[in-house]
């Protein structure tokens, strides 16, 4: 094979997974990575735990360093921002930390630029003490900030998974914390009854929840003093905004590349875009949904790592198709775990599927063994065939791994009856003879 040059823009989950795989498949491939930040291969997922000091050392969030990749012959340039993609010339324009601008040619380009937090354009949003959370430096600032004297009232705007994790961080840090969001229920990728359980869990621990409420203004002179919504005014010493993210694809706006409506680059299962020799993966790209059978935007680390790996393989000559996502996701909220995989009931409704649902409450393990906890499981299935389409779960213990069992069953297109008879392990500290998974599956009639 000719010695080709692969340039990757973005050095985190998708970019570094792609680089590692590509180098393993074809060691002759020249690989250059440009990352605008100072870190590569870091865990954004760990940031809420770093802020709460559950994870003390920020270096633990960094999985690999540039020198680990250099050893494999992958050239990493941090603090190098790609400022332009020159489609016709097959080159990128790069600006380094010394403000030097240069051009570099590629044979193949992988865009793995991730996404940026959205910020609502309300009055006062530029005041001091207002943050978003995406990178290690973002987390460092917030962590340092919450420790300052006088930082008592924290307001979180947006009730998705980042802020429900952060509400735990703030409660652990002893702050008065309030979460404000426009949708009716928190974690609104899940059906409403689960959002309601998140709400109750937050209130149980002293957090304040405002739903169906819209931020109108952030009040203050230089720094934030409060927030004003369509329903009231609340004190705030610190505001964190997490109202969704926007694919970081501005770089491509002058190219002919095809995108989803929200600006995510449209890719196929091989990471190919509509422009030959330009690939994309991760939070900047679309992903195929196995149940919805369409290209969607589900920005998760799980998807970014896998998409990156498949794309890197394809680029280097191991052409294998990424089958897509079920959107499987799990989140810890104080004492509870919430998770979902496949489609929710509201998605089934939107898709006009003839579906059924069943909800059960089952034990995580035998009742006579200490610390028995309840797990709530809701299944969505195709009414006639009883093929499973989605599962949502909530509980204090034993949710996450059972969620993966449902993900496997849904991925394999199993019927409820097939899942209800699988030989799962049993011993009193771990399960009941008929496990919670069996009980939910067998409740489908």
Which positions are catalytic?
45
Q: Does position 271 bind ligand FAD by CB under 6 A?
A: no
**Segment interacting with ligand FAD (CB under 6 A) among 183-191, 196-204, 252-260, 298-306:** 298-306
CB-based contact 385:415 (threshold 8 Å): yes
Applying CB under 6 A, which of residues 6, 7, 8, 14 lies at the interface with ligand FAD? Answer: 14
Pick the closer one to ligand FAD by CB: 47 or 362.
47
Nearest distance in Å: CB 307, ligand FAD: 8
Restricted to residues 343-372, the positions that interact with ligand FAD (CB under 6 A) are none
Q: What is the CA radius of gyration of the chain?
A: 23
Q: Does position 10 bind ligand FAD by CB under 6 A?
A: yes
For the chain, report the end-to-end CA distance as a whole number of angstroms: 57
Q: Does position 202 bind ligand FAD by CB under 6 A?
A: no
Q: Give the helix, strand, coil percentages of the chain, each rounded to 5.
A: 25, 30, 45
Nearest distance in Å: CB 337, ligand FAD: 12
Specify the DSSP element, H or E, that contains 105. strand 101-105
Backbone phi and psi for residue 125, each to the nearest 5 degrees, phi listed first: -70, -15
Pick the closer one to ligand FAD by CB: 130 or 251.
251
Q: Which of 251, 257, 262, 297 is nearest to 277 (CA)?
A: 257
Q: Does position 160 bind ligand FAD by CB under 6 A?
A: no
CB-based contact 242:162 (threshold 8 Å): yes
Other C-beta atoms closer than 10 Å to the C-beta of 353 total 18
Nearest distance in Å: CB 246, ligand FAD: 11
Pick the closer one to ligand FAD by CB: 252 or 316.
252
Pick the closer one to ligand FAD by CB: 37 or 120.
37
Hey, CA dihedral for 161, 164, 168, 173, is it positive or negative? positive
Q: Does position 44 bind ligand FAD by CB under 6 A?
A: yes
Restricted to residues 217-256, the positions that interact with ligand FAD (CB under 6 A) are 248, 251
| Contacts made by residues 53-57, CB under 8 angstroms, sequence distance 24+ | 53/143, 53/172, 53/173, 54/169, 54/172
Q: Does position 48 bind ligand FAD by CB under 6 A?
A: yes
Q: Does position 37 bind ligand FAD by CB under 6 A?
A: yes
Chain residues binding ligand FAD by CB under 6 A are: 9-15, 34-37, 44-45, 47-48, 81-82, 112-115, 133-134, 162, 248, 251, 282-283, 299-302, 304
């Amino acid at each position: 094979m000719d010695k080709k040059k692969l340039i990757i823009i973005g050095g985190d989950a998708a970019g570094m997974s792609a680089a590692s795989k590509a180098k393993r498949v074809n060691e002759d491939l020249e690989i250059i990575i440009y990352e605008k930040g100072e870190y590569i291969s870091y865990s954004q997922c760990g940031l809420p735990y770093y802020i709460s000091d559950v994870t003390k050392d920020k270096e633990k969030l960094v999985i690999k360093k540039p020198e680990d990749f250099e050893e494999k012959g992958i050239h990493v340039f941090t603090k190098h921002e790609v400022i332009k993609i020159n489609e016709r010339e097959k080159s990128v324009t790069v600006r380094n930390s010394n403000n030097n601008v240069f051009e570099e040619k590629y044979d193949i380009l992988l865009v793995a630029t991730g996404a940026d937090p959205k910020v609502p354009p309300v009055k006062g949003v530029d005041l001091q003490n207002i943050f978003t959370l995406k990178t290690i430096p973002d987390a460092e600032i917030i962590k340092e900030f919450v420790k300052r004297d006088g930082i008592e009232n924290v307001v979180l705007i947006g009730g998705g998974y980042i802020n429900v994790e952060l509400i735990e961080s703030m409660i652990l840090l002893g702050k008065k914390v309030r979460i404000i969001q426009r949708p009716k229920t928190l974690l609104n990728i899940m059906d409403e009854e689960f959002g309601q359980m998140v709400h109750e869990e937050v209130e149980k621990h002293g957090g304040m929840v405002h739903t169906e409420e819209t931020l109108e203004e952030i009040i203050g002179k230089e720094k934030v003093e409060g927030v004003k919504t369509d329903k009231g005014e609340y004190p705030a010493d610190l505001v964190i905004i997490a109202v969704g993210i926007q694919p970081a694809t501005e770089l491509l706006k002058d190219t002919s590349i095809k995108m989803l409506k929200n600006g995510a680059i449209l890719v196929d299962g091989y990471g190919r875009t509509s422009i030959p020799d330009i690939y994309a993966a991760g939070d900047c790209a679309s992903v195929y949904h196995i149940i919805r059978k369409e290209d969607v935007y589900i920005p998760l680390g799980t998807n970014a790592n896998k998409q990156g790996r498949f794309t890197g393989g394809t680029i280097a000559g191991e052409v294998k198709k990424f089958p897509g996502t079920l959107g499987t996701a799990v989140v810890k909220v104080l004492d509870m775990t919430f998770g979902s995989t496949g489609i929710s009931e509201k998605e089934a409704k939107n898709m006009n599927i003839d579906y059924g649902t069943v909800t059960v409450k089952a034990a995580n393990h035998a009742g006579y063994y200490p610390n028995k906890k309840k797990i709530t499981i809701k299944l969505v299935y195709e009414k006639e065939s009883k093929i499973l389409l989605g599962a949502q779960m909530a509980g204090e213990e034993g949710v996450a791994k059972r969620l993966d069992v449902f993900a496997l069953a849904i991925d394999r297109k199993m019927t409820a009856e097939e899942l209800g008879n699988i030989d799962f392990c049993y011993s009193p500290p771990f399960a009941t003879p008929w496990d919670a998974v069996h009980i939910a599956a067998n409740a489908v009639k």
